[in-house]
């Protein structure tokens, strides 16, 4: 039996530039990067040097705290650069890809006859263990801790998000294998959430060995954190794991083919995209590979991910480990005289009906990065609760994070959220508060004090 959950709160941001369901280019990257910064709380240990030759699946980094957790190269080639930042912080390991790719052969495994320990060792050795994210806090899962359950969202409601049915249409067998593998790692089952709008029409609903749930409503209905909250809320002492659907496919590929394969269809989206579409890419590929899709490189922000939670990496940056979307959006550098006082702003969207955008609900807007204001006093308001379909107190939680009050952070729901869950609160915030950054600092404090 499936659970049908209809969420009443939320907001779909009407930004233009959704990717058409067509694959325009297969990208053969020249340079790829393995970035420790993609993983919260990771203290990386470098395992290679500049000039070393690696195969796809060769270890590049490990976790100093848990050395068995490896981070492997997505391509075969030569390590060309080790990028460091302030205080020699390791930012990226850049690898120049070979024209003919070679992979480490990890060997195929039959999931029916493979036990949990063997599965864990295969995922750790191959470098796919970091695809499993543990909650609370959104850190890499601890292989020595058994989760209450594993949760997967089969759809995304984020702005211009990649369509799962199209992006994974050729990987259903691998996804099923990935599900079978993950089901061996928990006694609580693999919970997969589907979109009520197309549940019966998607091939994903035929997946076996899962506990299905059906969610309806606006963003953030597709966020796995919101889904966990309504299925089995996280309390102090709980541990649950989450895995992105395209990473489930990568896990399936490992067991079916014996190869480390993090290639994926990537949605190139946004108002500044010439022809929003999909490209066949790979984790860590450089943004310069999709420069031809951009209207004006110099005035465009290259975002790995969506506009709410993605990372501005620049045109020379790299696709994040967890991302299957690139958003191209104009840098909002122009000033608008008396913009806030104009009664008619036909090119602006307002979530609070300040303008008349509510009269054209189907219109899409060429949004830019302009925040139309600067941070101001943090006032008490109910605007957050109108877009957050969770039974927590976001205003009090954020103020507790600002005050570094751990007891109140626990009381107001720090265990149930990560940054993406409160991204809409930041978008609608009348005070222009950087809510995701504040929550991130709060989570870092919890990891430091509660470890």
**Number of folded domains that form the chain:** 3
Q: What percent of the chain has pLDDT over 90?
A: 85
CA-based torsion, 414, 416, 419, 425: positive or negative: negative
Q: Which of 97, 117, 137 finishes a domain?
A: 97
Residue 353 has pLDDT above 80, yes or no: no
Given this model, what pLDDT does residue 306 score? 98
Position 336 in a domain? no
Same domain, 23 and 33: no
CB 438 within 8 A of CB 398: yes
CB 222 within 8 A of CB 7: no
Higher pLDDT, 344 or 180: 180
Q: Which of 331, 349, 365 finishes a domain?
A: 331
The Cα–Cα gap between 322 and 309 comes to: 12
Same domain, 284 and 137: yes
Same domain, 416 and 432: yes
Same domain, 40 and 18: no
Same domain, 282 and 134: yes
Residues 390-407 have a mean pLDDT of 96
Position 371 in a domain? no
Q: What percent of the chain has pLDDT over 70?
A: 98
Same domain, 150 and 290: yes
Residue span of the structural domain in which 185 resides? 1-27+105-331
pTM, whole model, 2 decimals?
A: 0.95
CA geometry: angle 150, 152, 155, nearest 5 deg: 170
Position 410 in a domain? yes
Same domain, 125 and 252: yes
Same domain, 40 and 21: no
Same domain, 11 and 36: no
Q: Do the bridges between strand 59-63 and strand 70-72 make them parallel or antiparallel, or are there none, so unpaired?
A: antiparallel
CA neighbor of 324 nearest in space, from 99, 164, 432, 203: 164
pLDDT tens for each residue of 11-44: 999 999 999 999 999 999 999 999 999 999 999 9
The Cα–Cα gap between 128 and 287 comes to: 23
Q: Do the bridges between strand 90-97 and strand 277-282 make them parallel or antiparallel, or are there none, so unpaired?
A: unpaired
Residues in CB range of 146: below 8 A, 6 or more apart: 185, 186, 187, 239
Position 341 in a domain? no
Cα dist from 73 to 45, 79, 81, 261, 383, whole Å: 14, 10, 13, 10, 44
pLDDT tens for each residue of 220-275: 999 999 999 999 999 999 999 999 999 999 999 999 999 999 999 999 999 999 99
CB 366 within 8 A of CB 271: yes
Look up residue 226 and give its two tokens: 């919101």
Same domain, 43 and 154: no
Same domain, 312 and 414: no
Domain at 68, CATH number: 2.40.50.100
Q: Which of 97, 113, 128 finishes a domain?
A: 97
């Amino acid at each position: 039996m499936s659970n049908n959950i209809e969420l009443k709160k939320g907001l779909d941001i009407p930004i233009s530039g959704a990717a058409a369901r067509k694959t325009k280019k297969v990208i053969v990257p020249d340079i790829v990067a393995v970035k420790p910064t993609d993983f919260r709380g990771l203290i990386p240990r470098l395992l290679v040097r500049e000039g070393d030759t690696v195969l796809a699946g060769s270890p590049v980094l490990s976790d100093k705290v848990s050395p068995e957790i490896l981070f492997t190269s997505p391509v075969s080639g030569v390590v060309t650069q080790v990028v460091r930042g302030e205080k020699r912080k390791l930012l990226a390991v850049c690898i120049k890809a070979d024209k003919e790719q070679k992979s480490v052969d990890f060997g195929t495994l039959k999931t029916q006859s493979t036990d949990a320990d063997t599965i864990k060792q295969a995922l750790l050795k191959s470098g796919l263990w970091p695809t499993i994210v543990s909650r609370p806090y959104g850190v890499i899962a601890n292989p020595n801790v058994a989760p209450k359950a594993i949760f997967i969202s089969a759809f995304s409601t984020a702005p211009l998000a990649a369509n799962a049915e199209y992006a994974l249409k050729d990987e259903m067998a691998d996804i099923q294998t990935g599900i079978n593998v993950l089901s061996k790692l928990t006694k609580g089952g693999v919970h997969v959430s589907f979109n009520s709008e197309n549940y019966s029409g998607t091939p994903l609903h035929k997946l076996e060995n899962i506990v299905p749930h059906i969610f309806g409503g606006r963003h953030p209905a597709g966020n796995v954190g919101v889904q966990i909250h309504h299925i089995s809320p996280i309390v102090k002492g709980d541990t649950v794991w989450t895995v992105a659907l395209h990473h489930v496919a990568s896990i399936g590929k490992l067991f079916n083919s014996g190869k480390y394969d993090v290639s994926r269809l990537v949605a190139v989206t946004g108002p500044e995209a010439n022809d929003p579409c999909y490209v066949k890419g790979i984790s860590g590929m450089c943004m310069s590979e999709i420069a031809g899709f951009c209207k004006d490189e110099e005035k465009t922000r290259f975002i790995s991910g969506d506009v709410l939670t993605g990372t501005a990496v620049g045109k020379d940056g790299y696709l994040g480990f967890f991302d299957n979307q690139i958003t191209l959006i104009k840098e909002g550098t122009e000033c608008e005289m008396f913009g806030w006082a104009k009664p008619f702003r036909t090119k602006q969207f307002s979530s609070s009906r300040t303008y008349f955008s509510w009269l054209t609900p189907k219109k899409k807007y060429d949004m830019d990065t302009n925040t139309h204001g600067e941070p101001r006093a943090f006032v008490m308001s109910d605007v957050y609760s109108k877009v957050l379909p969770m039974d927590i107190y976001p205003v009090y939680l954020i103020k507790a994070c600002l005050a570094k009050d751990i007891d109140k952070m626990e009381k107001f729901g720090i265990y149930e959220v990560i940054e993406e869950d409160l991204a809409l609160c930041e978008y609608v915030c009348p005070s222009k508060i950087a809510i995701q950054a504040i929550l991130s600092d709060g989570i870092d404090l919890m990891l430091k004090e509660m470890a």
